[in-house]
Amino acid sequence: MSVPASSSPLESLYQEELYSLPSPVLFILNQPWETIADADKTTLTKMIVALRLSLASVRIITRNQFSLTDIAAYAPTKVVALGATFAGSPELYKNVTVEGVSVVAGESLSSLDDAKKKILWLALRQMFGV
């Protein structure tokens, strides 16, 4: 069997689709991880576990505000913004889909009381189907 002159035998060996990793769920917080109170870290960890995820399976970044263009390099399909303002929608505690990306925005971890946690949880359940 001969290989056409225009292609290399290695050209089809490593297909990009094989190395396409699923995009992680992106959590955007309004303050660096090191400055978050232990109680708020516990709240976030419980939230992530309740969504059937692990802390290691999500990506956490820090921004005060963001747009989909700002986070395009992370290629997320789901974004949970806590304390970070989403330029695509001013609505809090609602699952909105913009350009194929589901986004739920809420107040910062330190501002979440029990009532806000319940509303946030309803939006996250809708986003993740749990």
| Domains located in the chain, CATH noted | 21-128 (3.40.470.10)
36 or 4: which leads in pLDDT: 36
Which residues on adjacent β-strands are paired with residue 86?
A: 66
| Inter-CA distances, 65 with 36, 89, 126, Å | 18, 11, 23
- Asked if 48 contacts 58 with a C-beta cutoff of 8 angstroms, the reply is yes
Q: How many CA atoms lie within 13 A of 97 on its CB side?
A: 5
Q: How far is 40 from 43, CA to CA, in rounded Å? A: 5
128 or 11: which leads in pLDDT: 128
Provide the whole-model pTM: 0.78
pLDDT tens digit sequence for 35-72: 989 999 998 999 899 989 888 889 999 999 999 888 88
